[in-house]
A and B are shown apart, each in its own frame.
Chain A
Amino acid sequence: MGDGSSLEAPSRGKARVGSASWLDALLVLCAVVSGGMTLLVAGFVARESTRVLWVVGLSRWFTDPSWHPASGLFNALPMVVGTLLTSMLALVLAVPAGVLSAAWARWVAPAWARGPYRALVALLAGIPSVVYGLWGLTVLVPAIARVQAPGSSLLAGALVLALMVVPTIALFAESALASVPAPLLQGAAALGLGPWATLRGVALPAARPGLVAAVTLGAGRAVGETMALLMVAGNVVELPGSVFDPVRTLAANIALEMAYATADHRSALFATGSGLLVIVALLVLVADRAQRARA
């Protein structure tokens, strides 16, 4: 505690000679280490991918006859499609449900129900994905199989995924709606706007940046989700013909093959991981832009 730094940020104004203390240096070090972790993660995953990327390039990931990385065939298109389809179907289900239930919690629900509802949703957002996966595997998949075999399918994956991301979207959407300035809502009420007109015309536009962030966060979670899809989506590397066909996602593929992959195969899995990383980083940047547009 004997350091000589005063409480000002040292970056401000002119440099103050002799004011940089060990504490400030330590704080900067922590920040650099924490911030640099992303680079370390991205750097290592990219480094392990280069081996195969030098050989394969980019286009063969979509044009090779099949996905047999051990034999030098790298068609990842079915898995890319599987990832996008499960995520998008899940979002189509989860976004309206999440936003509407957030609107319910804020404006439709009786006051006493809000707190408990919010606590419950927060709790559900923390339930591990293996638990959802297990439920999907033992309840949902058999139910779908009664309609059309095999049950493990794009539909099962999308439904479980939707269930998983709804709480996340609902939580963030609710805080976005909560940030709508009260005078705006009072103004809407003063104009005699009904609940629906207020939501569509006033609240949703005003909360847009926060809602965009909520959706991109949900999308990030959906694209990267591994275990639940691994357990319910069937894991067949083929383009699905219908929602009842099984699919394999990129993340599930990594989990499935990593155990025995070596050499180029292992590198190929890291390359797909890099792809996921890039998608998620883009989503985060979009969310960040949306958030800053509000400020």
Chain B
Amino acid sequence: MIAVADLAVHYRDKCAFAGVNLSVARGTITALVGPSGCGKSSLLSCLNRLVDMVPGARASGRVDVDGCDVLDPRLDLVAHRRRVGMIFQKPNPFPLSIRENIAFPLREHGVRDVGERVESALRAVGLWTEVNDRLDRPALGLSGGQQQRLCIARALALEPSVVLLDEPCSALDPIASGVVEDHVASLRGRYTVVIVTHNLAQARRIADHTAVFWVRGGTGYLAEHGATEQVFGSPRTDVAAAYVSGSRG
């Protein structure tokens, strides 16, 4: 499970978001929604400490993932990032073969049965039947939707407990987007999933919980968080009501 307490991220002098408290139960899907620039992606990047790679970025507060203090400077980043997989907005397979995209990180983490894991990861995202005859061809030759599913397979092959997705469908066409969305939905139960999306209908279809972010004075904050039906059906705050009804944002 994930517990976020009083989390804030600053980029140099600018505060991206502040005062965020959020908990995500094991095996559930939580959607982060809200207008651009309210800190959703920054929050996601705190969960696997990718925030470290942004020059001048600083996170404060507390983040626990499976009982592990993520913001602790002594955290073993390599081990932590193996437990927390991440999928980006733009599919980013490495310029390697399809097989190597999955096999290389596995070998890097000392996994032995690489061959079986490659196959099962590709099956899990429905790519196996599409690519099993060209595993050694460049991954960059795949279509956008296939590339994104390969990235999901690559993350799943490491057997993470948490999967973070940063608008995984927004760079894809509607059909590919639907296929990827179905695979994200199928992660429920086995993985703890946090997904940032601009697509409210998508959040409503797949998320157990929804967190609505909003901006006040240039700083993002968590406006409302609850079960998806509640947030969409009977929102407690005005901004959430306006946002989910489409009248604001």
Contact = CB atoms under 8 A, between A and B. Distances in A.
Interface stretch (A7-15, A54-62, A243-251): A7-15
Nearest to B110: A2
Interface residues of B, number: 11
A111 interface: no
Interface string B48-84: 0000110100100000000000000110111001000
Given A4-B76, A6-B77, A8-B52, 16 more contacts: A1-B108, A4-B78, A6-B78, A8-B53, A8-B77, A12-B52, A12-B55, A13-B52, A14-B73, A15-B73, A16-B73, A16-B74, A17-B73, A17-B74, A18-B74, A19-B77
Nearest to B75: A16
Nearest to A14: B73
Contacts of A18: 74
Contacts of A8: 52-53, 77
A37 B58 CA distance: 36
Interface in B70-129: 73-74, 76-78, 81, 108
A6 B78 CA distance: 6
B53 A13 contact: no
8 contacts: A4-B76, A4-B78, A6-B81, A8-B52, A8-B53, A8-B77, A13-B58, A16-B73
Question: Which secondary structure dominates where chain B touches chain A?
Answer: helix
Nearest to A17: B74
Contacts of B76: 4
A108 B55 CA distance: 42
8 closest Cβ pairs, A-B complex: A6-B77, A14-B73, A8-B52, A17-B74, A16-B73, A8-B53, A6-B78, A4-B78
Contacts of B81: 6
Contacts of B58: 13
A18 B74 CA distance: 8
Interface in B177-207: none
Contacts of A1: 108
A212 B220 CA distance: 45
Contacts of B53: 7-8
